[in-house]
Amino acid sequence: MTHTPAAPDATPAAEAAQEPAAVTVARLRAAFDTGRTRPLAWRRAQLAGLRSLLTEQSDAFLAALRADLGKGTAEAYRTEIGFTLNELDHTVAHLEQWLQPRPATVPEVFRPAEARVVRDPLGVVLIIAPWNYPLQLALAPLVGALAAGNTAVLKPSELAPATSAAIARLLPRYLGPEAVAVVQGAVPETTALLEQRFDHIFYTGNGAVGRIVMAAAARHLTPVTLELGGKSPVVVEPGVDLAVTARRIAQGKFLNAGQTCVAPDYVLAIGASAKALESQLADAVRELYGEDPATAPEYGRIVNERHFDRLTALLDDGRTVTGGTHDRASRYLAPTVLADVSPEAPVMQAEIFGPVLPVVAVPDLDAAIAFINERDKPLALYAFTESPQTKRRLTEETSSGALSFGLPVSHLAMPELPFGGVGESGMGRYHGEYSIETFSHTKAVVDKPLA
């Protein structure tokens, strides 16, 4: 990738005057009520505008992502811009087909009659984005909202201020004010938005705020999608190629310095694989980031000092296999693998969301399944095994938002797969046609002749 980032927009969010939340929502609702968002041509025009935004302003977004999270150019393009373009292009290619009314069978007693299922836009939707992938997780849901024929309020994360400012500055150049409004700010601005009546709220973040979003939505009986997180385990069985296994785990874990909702959170290594995996993980980190990851152009930084302090407090929860070095001034924390980790250690109690990977030894698959099922249902479950029986048992005996064998994180980038959690890891799903389902009302239509 040869993009050369330009300087990020340094204008503080507080300097940008914003209309009151009630005015913003009323304006978008008035636009929706005209019916202008329903035609396929309008939806395609908005998606074309989004595509132009991403392609023409990629340098500005790459610079903002580096300022916020230290993201390298190649990784930032692949996981933020390229990812969203892939989602967008897939939607454009299939949208007309997805919007076609679907015929339904009419029971004999009601004939002659016809029945069909149609997808109606919901109205005005609110998208609240997180800081870890602040461009992708703002614009990928917006693809679905606009494709389904809605207007939208987009609330970027204040913890990624450069990206938030870039979205607020650039998006209105490509999408009209009747389609999308960008609202910057922190808790007061989000609280004001949540007081309004929306037709759907899409939130990506943590469970604590997810509960606040649900409580606010309940006042208006607004449906919600919650994309949360959790501790996503990796099961490793003896007999697999540990070099390949370690490399793929490390790639998934240390992407974005571990600040990924579907990153492998911890490893359940069965039997002798626990000890054998240690050196392979250390080798994989060196292969990915060199002897000194602090100098690796594609290794990111922790988002802020509060999260840095939280993560470094976990470093004593096991024996350090590799990594452990850190610098608070630059928010650098090396890719770290911990062994001999107790299931009761603090590092095993909450989602790590950073570049610390605990390895927990378990005696057999039964113990691994029991370990997973005793805890909240994860957003993703990964396994490295050559056994069809193990794959069957993990599929049938565990519950998770997604299950992937041999390739962590990748399911997120497959637009024909639903992405979402279950239980504590979230509710609802999106990507591809699932986004159209999320941001539409599926309406039954019956038509019986009068004569």
Model pLDDT, residue 16: 46
Assign residue 205 the CATH number of its domain: 3.40.605.10
Does residue 193 share a domain with residue 77?
Answer: yes
Does residue 354 share a domain with residue 275?
Answer: yes
Calculate the alpha carbon distances from 349 to 94, 237, 267, 317, 323 in Å.
42, 23, 14, 11, 21
Does residue 222 share a domain with residue 238?
Answer: no
Does residue 278 share a domain with residue 173?
Answer: no
For 83-105, write each residue's pLDDT tens digit. 999 999 999 999 999 999 999 99
Q: Is 278 a catalytic residue?
A: no
Does residue 282 share a domain with residue 246?
Answer: yes
- Confirm whether 8 is domain-assigned: no
Report how far residue 208's alpha carbon sits from residue 54's, in angstroms, rounded to the nearest whole number: 32
Does residue 163 share a domain with residue 288?
Answer: no
Q: Is 19 a catalytic residue?
A: no
- Confirm whether 7 is domain-assigned: no
- Confirm whether 250 is domain-assigned: yes
Question: Residue type for 174, please?
Answer: Y
- Confirm whether 281 is domain-assigned: yes
Does residue 350 share a domain with residue 257?
Answer: yes
Does residue 116 share a domain with residue 36?
Answer: yes
Q: To which H or E segment does residue 367 belong?
A: helix 365-373
Does residue 394 share a domain with residue 309?
Answer: yes
Which domain range does residue 50 map to? 13-228+421-447
Residues of the chain with pLDDT below 70 are: 1-17
- Confirm whether 1 is domain-assigned: no
Does residue 224 share a domain with residue 310?
Answer: no
80, 237, 261, 278: the catalytic one is: 261
Report how far residue 285's alpha carbon sits from residue 251's, in angstroms, rounded to the nearest whole number: 8
Total domains in the chain come to 2
- Confirm whether 60 is domain-assigned: yes
Model pLDDT, residue 12: 38
Model pLDDT, residue 67: 98
Model pLDDT, residue 18: 85
Does residue 259 share a domain with residue 138?
Answer: no
- Confirm whether 4 is domain-assigned: no
Q: Is 14 helix (H, G, I), strand (E, B) or coil?
A: helix
227, 237, 278, 433: the catalytic one is: 227
Does residue 32 share a domain with residue 134?
Answer: yes
Assign residue 393 the CATH number of its domain: 3.40.309.10
- Confirm whether 2 is domain-assigned: no
Model pLDDT, residue 451: 87
